[in-house]
Every structure is written in C-alpha cells, then in structure tokens.
Structure 1
Amino acid sequence: MFKTLLSLTALATSASSFANGAPNDMERIVVSGSRVIESIDEVPASITVISKKQIEAHLKVNPELQSLLAQMVPGLAPDTGSSSNTGQSLRGRAPLVMIDGVPQSTPLRNGSLGVKTIDPSALARIEVIKGATSVYGNGASGGIINYITKQATTKDTHEGLVSVSSRFSAVKVEESAGARVSAAVNGKVKSFDYLVTASYEENGVQRDAQGDILGLQYGLSDAETQNYFTKLGYEFDEQKRLEFSYNYFSSQQKTDLGDVPGDINQGQKTYAIHVPEALQKRGKPQGPDGNENITVKYTDTNIFANSQMTLDVYSQDIENVFFFSLNLANPDEGYEGGQSIIRSEKRGARATFNSVFDFENVEARFIYGIDALQDTTSQPLVDGRVWVPEMDMDSVAGFLQTKWVINDDIIVKAGVRRESIDLSVDDYETLKLCISATQCSIPLQVKGDTIDYDATTYNVAVKYNLSDAFSPFFNYSQGSDITDVGRLLRAATVDDIGLIQTEASIIDNYEVGFTSIFDQVRIEVAAYRSTSELGTTNSFNEVTGVYEPVRAPQEIWGYEGIVDYRVSDTLSLMATYSYVEGKDTQSDTYLGSRQISPPKATANINWQPLDTLSFTVSYLHVGDRKRFSPNADGDYVGDQGPISSYNLINLSGQYQLAESWNAFMGIENLFNSDYYPARAQAYTYGGYNIKGLGTTATLGVSYSF
C-alpha cells in the first residue's frame, strides 16, 4: 500500500494558513493540537490552521462554520448548506469538534451538530488535525476540529468592536433579509483580564437559484441564533494563571412555513412555501436549544524543574432538537410521527504536564497526564417515548507523548495512551416504528449491562527538515472509538446488550507527506490510509423500513495537496485538491456518502490594492462520485445517490472608511449556480433533496474602539 501512496502525484495538506503572509511565515505559526503549544514546522502530521483574518473574511460571505471549514480544509467534505454536518466527514471518518479542547460532539449518539456550537466572531483561529488520534479520547476517528477562542489584550487597556450587517437573497429579496449584530469588549486591569463577546442573528428565508425557499429539514431559513462567550483571567504572577470561560449557544428554526416534498430519484427538489397552520413545520423549533460550556483552567509554567502544569475541569450540557419525522410513527399507539432530542451531559477533568530537557544536540519533551470524563447521553422523543436509552460512560485515561528534536532538523514523536471506559445501560425496550402501515419494526426487550472497554493506542512519527525545498514526514497513529453506540442500541436485534456488537473500533492511520518552499511558493502534500476492523455503515431493511447499522472492516485512503503563492505584498494565491475513497473490505463494496465525499478543489485569491481596501475571491469545485447502481426499480437507496460536479464562486471585500470605521460586503454564489449540494444528491432519505443557496449578499459596517 505504501508503494501506492508514494506513487501518487497529487497529495495533500500537512499544514496550512492561507494568504496570511509569506509562505515561510508558516514556521512561526504555533498550534496546540498535541495539548501543548509548539511550532507547526515541528509537527509531523497533517494540520490546517485557519487564521483570524481568514475567519473574518469568510464571515462577510457566510456566518456558518461549516461553510468556512469546507472551503479551507482539504479532506473535509463539502458544506451541507444546513445546520447539520451529517455527511461532512474528515478523511472519511467523523471528527471530534472541540472548543479550547473541550469536546462539543456527542459521540455516544452522534447527531452531527457539533460543528455549529459557537459563533465565528468569538474565535482567534481554528486548528484541524487530520487522521485518527487518541490524544483527546473517544470520538476522534477522523481527527480533531479545535476552535481556539480569542484572548484578552495583554496591554493594560480596554478595546471593543461592534459589527452590524444584513444578509439577503439577490435572486428574490422578498422575506429574505436578515439581521446580525456582534460585539466584543476586552481589557486588562493589573493582573485581571477579561473578554466578552456576544452575537445575535435572525435569518430571513433562504432562497435557491430559482428564488424558491429552501426546504426546512435542518434548514436555516427563519433561524434565530444567539452566542454569548466570556473569558476571565487572573495572573497570580508571571508563571501562574487561573482562567474561567463560559459559552452559551442557541440556534433554532422558528418558522411558519411548510415543505413541499420532492424526490431526488425523480430529480425533484424539496422546497418550502407559506401554508395554513395545520400544514406548517411541526413540533418544537429544531436546532441547539441553549447549549452551555463552563471551563476552569489553572496553569503553572514552572510547577517543578523545566515543567509546566495545566489543570482544567469542564462541564457541558447539550440539548439538540431534531425535526419532526413521519418515520417515527406508531399508529397503534396514536403517534403520527415524532421528534427526537439528543441530550448530553459531560463532566471532565484533565491534568497535563509538559517537561522539557536539553541534551547535547537533542531537545526532549515529555507530555503526560490523566484525563477523566463522565458522559451521560440519551435520545428521547419529545412525546416521552425513549428511542435511545440513557448511556452512562465513565472514562479514565493516562497518556505519555514524547518529542525529540535532534540537531534542530529531525523531529521524532512517539506516544501511548491507555484508556479504560465503563459504559452502563439499563434494561430497555426498542421502539416500534412504522415507515408505512405495513413496514414496522418489532419492539424488543433488551437486558441492560455494563460494558468495559480497555484500549491501548500508540503513535509514532518522524519529520526531517532536510531543507526548505524538501521536509518529508511519516506518521502512524491509532485511535480508539466507540462512536454512535446509541445507533446500535436503538436498532438492536438481540435481547441482551452484551450480544450487540458494541466493541470499540481501533483505527490505524498511516500518512506520508512533505513540505517544500521555493522563494514565495509553499507546496504541501500528503497521502494517507486508514483501516478499522469494525466500521459503522447502514443497510436498509426492506421488511421493517429501518436503516440498520452494519459493522464491517473498512479501508479508507486518499491524498491532498496545496500550493500557496505569495505573488507580491498585495496579492496572494492558494489552491488545494483533495481526494478520498473507501471500501467495506469484507464485501469489497464502496462506502456511501455518509463517510466518503467526492473530490474537492478550492482556490482563494487575496488582493489588497490599497491600505484601506481589500478583496477575497474564493472558488469551490466539487467533483463527480458515481460508485453505485440503482435497485430493480431504478432508484438509488440510502447514501448511494450519484454525485455530479458543481462550481461555486464567492466574493468579499472591505473598505476602511475612517480610523475606527469599516464597511464590508460579501456575495455567496456570485454567478447564481443552480445546484444540489453533494449530500443532497447522495442522500435519498426524505427531506434531504434541497438545493443550494442562490446568490446571497451581505452588507455591513463595523466600529472599533
């Protein structure tokens, strides 16, 4: 397999921060993906760093983090155009989403809403670490998306920023205008510093290229989004610091519209219209309903000789409300459908130590510590029925990561993590669900139990900074994953939880790549392969009408590449390409689009003709993926619909009106491309066949003080 990887001519990103200065500025970028701050040129792995400048530029076009990540991160699937990131895998597997290292995903019952957990205006940068990793524990089979929040100024002063904007359809303005306001203040008084950000946004209706309102399933039309973030810090002295942070996020669709359902197999889109109250979107407003995070962190940079200590405790409460679905019907008990909620409570504590020692021509770093996590997750229905019973997970892990820098140009990393997990589930009964009058699942009494998982995972990596022209690396890492046990429990076909195939999946991830710098050009490439003995795919049961999990061995492979060219002090270009493919190796069949995304290419041009004026043009190409054949009726099922290519171009710009005033604009889908997003083409499940946004404009102004 490695001969195959090495023979690939188009490869991928090992680390990227686009158009943020000269290409060799990358060496000065620091990342915290290994749980300590380190220079990115000493990281032998694929990392994408999205800077504050890039976040702000994309915010002028689209405020959704999904859209930003899809544009900036090779290997991440295209934007879904909705509030859900289901199908937006990272290198064919699920990423773990975090805010400052605190997990936001709900891996025990993955509802794929973790990407939308904070407003971009609160972020200083985003770090994306690709490939299976156990550095942060369960749920990172595809890698890590870590949102790094802003810090208060280090000067003894006070600063602030207020931004107001409106976003509307340029195809048909009627009812589409929304409003957004965000504000931030921060400052420092002696040893105390503070940062407070707040944002509030109300969307109008969202329209496709034909002017029709987009379908409502996971839709963003009429969505109301609020985010309030606070970070308070106190420095006892130059070495000791205590920090408290709080994040509140809510984003719910509150609409009086109703869907006109279509069928992707027939080429018919789902769209929304005004309808009588009886036909409007049923149930509670869908989306995150006031999710909260609290973190307290204490740092001592010299706890003992050459050693730093970081202690943090955190809590998280999540309630994600899903759409009303007729597939959750049970006519025998009077239920015409149902609406589910994923509830998750996490309580965690972590102790991380970082010791550095210098030997002759060798710098040795040892990162070690203990993680503890309690995660209670369930998925009840709003009407009181229990779809996924409460799962109580207690996890304790110890880890050691070593890093050796030899002669300043050879970096060797090796590490081990030992994790012990207890997962408890009480006795429960699976739900009787009817997709039609004749297609119903059979309820089953299941005996509960406590399942023990003990896993030891390893990683080793080498990077050789031979020269600017060629810095190769090799990386092998393992991840231990018990993702989406809830999906297995709710589709149980045996009467004892001990008989359900809930074993942890060990993912082996292999990667090779290199970085090359020539004057103002930086090239980064990598190729990867990951294998797992137990994957999670779905198979449609034609008798019950239920999609049931299938755990079978999987192999996923791919390559990515980036070229970053600083043409001049005022003009920079960046282009990427990524390809991923995967198979169920037991049946020798391709994996569906829930995991595998089509090829993706992006380009970004940044131009600053004047000190007061700048523009960004971004281009996205999503390629074809047509791996499956229709059934006997000529229809595609599950996530196996054929994907045809499409292209999108966005434009943004800003102009400094005065010392403290900036005006900005953004246009999404500049040429009004009429298309279905990749997920909408591939997913044949009802309600997903929704077209992408037509031309949408943003106008705004900001004031800093």
Structure 2
Amino acid sequence: MALSAPLYAKSVPHNLEHIIVTGSRVVESIDEVPASVTVISREQIEAQLKVSPELQNLLEVLVPGMAPSTNSSSNTGQTLRGRAPLIMIDGVPQSTPLRNGSLGIRSLDPSVLERIEVIKGATSVYGNGAAGGVINYITKKPSNSSDFSASVDASTRFSAVKSDETLGTRVEGSINGRMDKFSYLATLSYEENGVQRDAEGDILGLQYGLSDVETENYFTKIGYDFDAEKSLSLTFNYYKSQQKTDLGDIFGDINQGDKSYAIHVPADQQKQGRPQGPSGNTNIMLKYSDSEVFANTGMTVDLYAQDIENVFFYSPNLANPSAGYDGGQSIIASEKQGLRTTFNSQFELQGAEATFIYGVDLLNDISSQPLVDGRIWVPEMDMSNLAGFVQSKWVIDDHYVIKAGVRHEDIDLKVDDYRTLELCRSETQCSVPMDVKGDTLNYSATTYNIGIKYNAFEAFSPFISYSQGADISDIGLLLRTATVNDISLIRTEAAVIDNYEVGFTSVLDALRLEGSLYRSTSELGTSNSFNETTGVYMPVRAPQEIWGYELLADYRFNSAWRTTLTYAYVEGKNTKDDIYLGAKQISPPKATANLQWQPSRDTGVSMTLLYVGNRKRFAANANGDYVGDQGPVDDYLVVNLSGQHKFTEQLNAYIGVENLLNRDYYPARAQAYTYGGYNIKGLGTSITVGLKYQF
C-alpha cells in the first residue's frame, strides 16, 4: 500500500501530496516513493489511544500487512508481511536483532510521537534487522512559536465486565516553547494498570501480560538554530514498563480448549524473580543539520547511544535440577553506539530533477542474554558494522519517478568461548551442554534496490519495485542451541531477502484506492522444530518464500462522514520441504473498517471493526495435538468505539470503548501458539475516560 490515509484528521485534504516520509532517510513527497509506505498521523495516534494506550493495537488497526496484535507486552508473532520489522525511534534501532526478544514495539510512550512511518518490505536503508521493513517512531519537535505552551492529560481505564481491581490511571504532561534561537520540549507520562479481564470476567494470564503494569516515560528535546541553515538538537528518552503483581497463573492447554488465566495466590506461588518488562531503556540522540553544507547539498549527522535491558518472566523451562535450578529468568541486554552521516544533493540534469542521497553508517551493538541467577544462556555478541550507501532519485517530466540505490555492509561479530546450558523440561528430557570455541565472524553484503512510479494520472498511479535486505538477525538463538563445538560451524550465515512488489494509488474525486502485490524470498530463513529428546526448539535454516497482497479504500461521503476499509493477506512456505510457515511469521488474513463522524469542529465519533480470518494449514500429531506455532486459527471480530468533545479551546473530554460487544475470543497468536501460557483470551469490554487541558 502506498499510503494509509489519515482516518481522523478532518483538516487534512484528500489530496495527500504534501505528506512526507523518511523512507530514503531524507524528507520527500509521498508521491515520489515507489514503494509501500504507511504514514500514521498524530491525529490518528490520538484517536486510537482513546481506545487503547498500546502501540501494538494501533499498528494492528492502521497498518495493512501488520499481523494482529498480541494483547501483551511481546510482539512475537506480530510480523510485518511475514517477517520481523526493525523498530526505530527517529532512525535509532530499538529492536535487538542479535537476540530478538520481540519487545521493540513497546519501546516508548505514544504521548511523545508526532507520527509513525512504516516502510514495508525488506530494506537495507537502515541496516541489519529490517527483513520485513521498518517501523520508525518520529518524535515530536519543539514548536516554532515563541509562546510557551503546556498541557495535562489525565484518564482512567477499567473493565465493563467486572470492574473489581481493574481501575487504572494515566497522567501525561508536557511543556513546549522557544526563546530566540533556543527551543525546548519536555513530556512525562505515568501509567498504572489495574488487572485486565476477559469477556468472562477472569483476569488475563500473566505471560507477557499487562495486568498491574507500571509504565513511566521521560522525554525531552532541546534545539538550537545557529542560522536558517544550521541547527543542533539533543533528544533524550527513558522508558520503563514492568509488571509488579501478587497474582499467579493457572495454565490451560490450547489443544484442550482451556485458557490460561490469573488468580490471587499465596506469596510462594506468585511470579518469581524480578518484575518482567523493560527495566529502564535509555536513548540519547544528537543531531546536527546543515541544509547548505556546500552547493546544492545538505548534510545530517546523527550520533546516538542506547542502553536496553528487557527482563523476561520466570520459566520452568530454564530448569536444571542436577545443578539446583528449578527454573530461571532471562534478560536481554543491549548497548548500541552509532554514527550516521547523510548527504543529500539535488541537481537539474538534462531536464530531470536528480537527487543523490549518500553517506556512511557506523554501529557497535553489544548484546547478550544472561539469566538472573548468573548462568549465561546467550554469550556476549560484539558486533561492529560499517556501511556505505548511495541512493538516487530521478524525476522526469514530472511523471516518471525512478529510484535506484546500493548499500554495502561489512560486519564483524565477535563471540568468546562459551558453554551452552543444560536445560530440562523433565528429569529425562534435557538438552546436552556443549563447549563452543568462540571466534570473530565476518559478514559482507551488497544489496540493491530499484523502483519506478508513474504519476501522470491521478486516477491511476502505478509503481513497481525490487529491493534487497541483508539480515543476520537472531544469531543469539543459534548460539544458545549450538550442537557443535566451534562457532564457525554453526549456520550463522547472513540471509539476503529479495522483495518484489507492484502497486498503485488512485484518486477518483472523494474515493481513494490503493493496492499492492508482493513476494519476498530468502535462501536462509529461521524457523523452529521441536526436538522430542532434548525438549528444545531447534532453529531450522531453510529457504523461504512469502507472498501476499493489500488493499485499501478511503471514501469521504461529505464533510462529516468518512470511511476507510482495508484487507491484507499473507502466506509463506519453507520451499525446501514445501511446508507452510508457522504463526511466528505468518498471520491470518486481516480486514479493518473505520467509520468516522465529525458533525462539528468540536465533536467527533469513530467506530473501528477488526476482522481476523481463519488459517488452518497444519495437521495434528498422532495424539491429536498441535505443536509449536502450528495451531489452527478461527476467525473473530472486534468492534471499538471512541468519541471526543471540546468544551473550550483549552478543555477536551474523550471516551473510548475497546471490544464494544464483549466478544469472547482468543487472539490469533493465542490460538496458534501451543507453547505453555500463551493461550490467553482477548480483553473483554474495557472503557477509557479522560480529560485534556491545554494552557
């Protein structure tokens, strides 16, 4: 899809040519991007957050090609076109590709967002980890106005099914202003959830759950304009979101149709170990821009540092009775330092407008996954990455847009000698520990992209594109399950993803249509196979092919009424064995419908329908059970409603209802994942009520 049109911004005209994105690392017109891009505006973000404060739910509804939300803190299974996306804040990676814990989507509070840009399909524009594309959270900038402004937003959230213990609170505040050449913006937010209940009134299971989660976010951006061309900005963001609860899980079995849920239990039966969730993730970004560093050329230099520590739940699958461990709790720790230099040169060449974007990226990423008790599950991986790139764009006769580019990566990954863990599911089902000799692995890859878009007719503007991405994601998963004694013998080769796509946009008066058809292939994918002897899910590296299509229709009936419909289908196979890929990558078909009514400037109502279809590609085993991520998915429909009214220019009230019809259902991942504890039902009817005051 070329662009998902804003659903709630009445002030945005139907012609969206002025919308810009950073898919090429510099701002450009959306009409000059021969690729699938979804831009989510601030108005859309605010409208969706009236229903749910979770970014996973927002992306599920507003991004065709994004797998259904998991209703949890983990985005495992919430892929983009069947592959893992790279999550970024202002271009800085938040994912931990070397050991992908699937927690990147919840990496900041949505109150700091100006917009979200989603570039779909494999891309090497930002380097490693973007096998499925890029989700870039663009943070707010200080106002250009010299006036000081501030706002306070307070809301509460509770279950309409059974309100006991469900009351949650959320407060966010911000200040914004400018003093001559100096500008500033600061926000802080704090949210405390009550327990979350399903449609039957039971508390949702705790595995990656959001009951009793406390979240805090501190964000500031300071800018200084040296002159009209040169500026410097410093951005700081601190995010912490952890579950602190006295509940305990009652585990069910999805093969038997039994849900997992939580109840109050004695202290010795409560969740052991540290609270799960991000324990304090920090991002610092320094940006220098010069729009005329030399003739016809602008320059941007980004220097960034990041410290991530994601704590996972206590699991009995990390047990080793012979060594005195009845379970364990892991932490994914990652430290990144990087430098990005981007030049942007524009010329007139024989009647064509030519743009050249080029630069150098440096990144050092040190990631590991130790256990809280001191055991090392994934050893420290020290990656140094040097990359250079050139991207060109040619606009010919105002009708043809041709983009072509190349990026070369050189990666060194150092791992010291280590020993794999002995882990036991039972006394007789244990993995075999292995002493593994470390080494420095070297990767080198050159990836290419080319795309063409034809803009002569507003009624039909087609594009075609080919892009590649180089990916060494989740090396940590391969290291921790090693069955050989030398790291050089583990199949850690980089995967090159080839992405092919054709699409179009059409504007016919009040109707906007979009569509795309895509196919991506890779000679090396990573799926899993369960080893009955050791009780370990072993990585399987085999060629993969993923294909699908997306459709969007947006129609404005009049100034008050508007509707948007989307449909997305994705499927994929391990082509070596001709078997379908499981739910860790492939989601069921998804359709959304949004109806918006805004009778006046001060009042608006929106209803959203989310439909998730069936996907039943796998057979049960001899015992009649499904294994791994191969459970059958039945369809379900969820309806959300939100509304707002502005009493004065300063005071705005809003209400949101999630799962308006109190549908009793298992989300797609909960049906497909047979791993213990994932079979948690969806949230029952929940209501959010809030007030926002602007000074």
Looking at structure 1, the residues matched to 574 and 316 of structure 2 have their Cα atoms a distance apart, in angstroms, of 31
Which among 131, 142, 155 is matched to residue 121 of structure 2? Answer: 131
The residue that corresponds to 2:575 in the other structure is 585
Looking at structure 2, the residues matched to 647 and 358 of structure 1 have their Cα atoms a distance apart, in angstroms, of 52
The residue that corresponds to 1:314 in the other structure is 304
The residue that corresponds to 1:158 in the other structure is 148
CA contact (8 A) 2:459 2:507 kept: yes
Say yes or no: does 1:686 pair with 2:676. Answer: yes
Which among 47, 50, 54 is matched to residue 57 of structure 1? Answer: 47
Q: Deviations over 1:673-700 (max 9, x none)?
A: 0000000000000000000000000011
Looking at structure 2, the residues matched to 14 and 668 of structure 1 have their Cα atoms a distance apart, in angstroms, of 26
The 5 A counterparts of 1:159-238 are: 159-238=149-228
Q: How far did 1:16 drift?
A: 3.8
- One-letter amino acid matched to 2:113: L
- One-letter amino acid matched to 2:90: D
The residue that corresponds to 1:18 in the other structure is 7
CA contact (8 A) 2:8 2:47 kept: no
The 5 A counterparts of 1:347-426 are: 347-426=337-416
Say yes or no: does 1:620 pair with 2:633. Answer: no
SS of residue in 1 equivalent to 2:330: strand
- One-letter amino acid matched to 1:477: S
Looking at structure 2, the residues matched to 23 and 396 of structure 1 have their Cα atoms a distance apart, in angstroms, of 42
- One-letter amino acid matched to 2:532: E
Q: Deviations over 1:215-269 (max 9, x none)?
A: 0000000000001110000000000000000000000000000001100000000
Looking at structure 2, the residues matched to 23 and 458 of structure 1 have their Cα atoms a distance apart, in angstroms, of 35
Query: What is the RMSD computed on CA atoms of the aligned residues?
Result: 0.8
Q: How far did 1:604 drift?
A: 1.0
Percent of aligned pairs with the same residue?
66
CA contact (8 A) 2:4 2:63 kept: no
The 5 A counterparts of 1:264-663 are: 264-663=254-653
Looking at structure 1, the residues matched to 430 and 315 of structure 2 have their Cα atoms a distance apart, in angstroms, of 15
The residue that corresponds to 1:94 in the other structure is 84
Q: Deviations over 1:532-587 (max 9, x none)?
A: 00000000000001000000000000000000111111111100000000000000
Q: Deviations over 1:512-540 (max 9, x none)?
A: 00111100110000000000000000000
The residue that corresponds to 2:25 in the other structure is 35
SS of residue in 2 equivalent to 1:58: helix
Q: How far did 1:281 drift?
A: 1.1
Greater CA deviation, 364-373 or 350-359?
A: 350-359
Looking at structure 1, the residues matched to 422 and 383 of structure 2 have their Cα atoms a distance apart, in angstroms, of 26
- One-letter amino acid matched to 1:17: P
Runs of 5+ unmatched residues, structure 2: none
Looking at structure 1, the residues matched to 119 and 434 of structure 2 have their Cα atoms a distance apart, in angstroms, of 41
Looking at structure 1, the residues matched to 216 and 309 of structure 2 have their Cα atoms a distance apart, in angstroms, of 15
Greater CA deviation, 665-674 or 612-621?
A: 612-621
CA contact (8 A) 2:2 2:35 kept: no
- One-letter amino acid matched to 1:129: I
Looking at structure 2, the residues matched to 297 and 38 of structure 1 have their Cα atoms a distance apart, in angstroms, of 19
Q: 1:162 to 1:45 in 2, by over 3 A?
A: same
Runs of 5+ unmatched residues, structure 1: 1-11
SS of residue in 2 equivalent to 1:469: coil
Q: How far did 1:659 drift?
A: 2.2
- One-letter amino acid matched to 2:7: F
SS of residue in 2 equivalent to 1:296: strand
Q: Deviations over 1:138-190 (max 9, x none)?
A: 00000000000111111111111110000000000000000000111110110
CA contact (8 A) 2:3 2:39 kept: no
CA contact (8 A) 2:398 2:456 kept: no
SS of residue in 1 equivalent to 2:122: coil
Q: How far did 1:23 drift?
A: 6.4
Looking at structure 2, the residues matched to 565 and 527 of structure 1 have their Cα atoms a distance apart, in angstroms, of 22
Q: How far did 1:387 drift?
A: 0.2
Q: How far did 1:18 drift?
A: 3.2
CA contact (8 A) 1:417 1:457 kept: yes
Q: 1:111 to 1:680 in 2, by over 3 A?
A: same
Looking at structure 2, the residues matched to 599 and 592 of structure 1 have their Cα atoms a distance apart, in angstroms, of 14
- One-letter amino acid matched to 1:346: K
Q: Deviations over 1:18-38 (max 9, x none)?
A: 353566432111111210000
SS of residue in 1 equivalent to 2:314: strand
CA contact (8 A) 1:19 1:566 kept: no
The residue that corresponds to 1:66 in the other structure is 56
CA contact (8 A) 1:14 1:525 kept: no
Say yes or no: does 1:666 pair with 2:656. Answer: yes
Q: Deviations over 1:314-339 (max 9, x none)?
A: 00000000000000000000000000
Say yes or no: does 1:105 pair with 2:92. Answer: no
Q: How far did 1:610 drift?
A: 2.2
Looking at structure 2, the residues matched to 312 and 469 of structure 1 have their Cα atoms a distance apart, in angstroms, of 39
CA contact (8 A) 2:8 2:43 kept: no
Q: Deviations over 1:70-95 (max 9, x none)?
A: 00000000000000000000000000
The residue that corresponds to 1:6 in the other structure is none
Q: Deviations over 1:355-378 (max 9, x none)?
A: 000234310000000000000000
Count of matched residue positions in the alignment of Structure 1 and Structure 2 = 694
- One-letter amino acid matched to 1:554: Q
SS of residue in 2 equivalent to 1:195: strand
SS of residue in 2 equivalent to 1:27: coil
Q: Deviations over 1:421-459 (max 9, x none)?
A: 000000000000001111000000000000000000000
Looking at structure 1, the residues matched to 252 and 13 of structure 2 have their Cα atoms a distance apart, in angstroms, of 47
- One-letter amino acid matched to 2:181: S
SS of residue in 2 equivalent to 1:67: helix
Looking at structure 1, the residues matched to 89 and 303 of structure 2 have their Cα atoms a distance apart, in angstroms, of 13
Looking at structure 2, the residues matched to 687 and 654 of structure 1 have their Cα atoms a distance apart, in angstroms, of 37
Q: Deviations over 1:87-126 (max 9, x none)?
A: 0000000000000000000000000000001111100100
Q: How far did 1:606 drift?
A: 1.4
- One-letter amino acid matched to 2:693: Y
Looking at structure 2, the residues matched to 319 and 471 of structure 1 have their Cα atoms a distance apart, in angstroms, of 45
- One-letter amino acid matched to 1:501: R
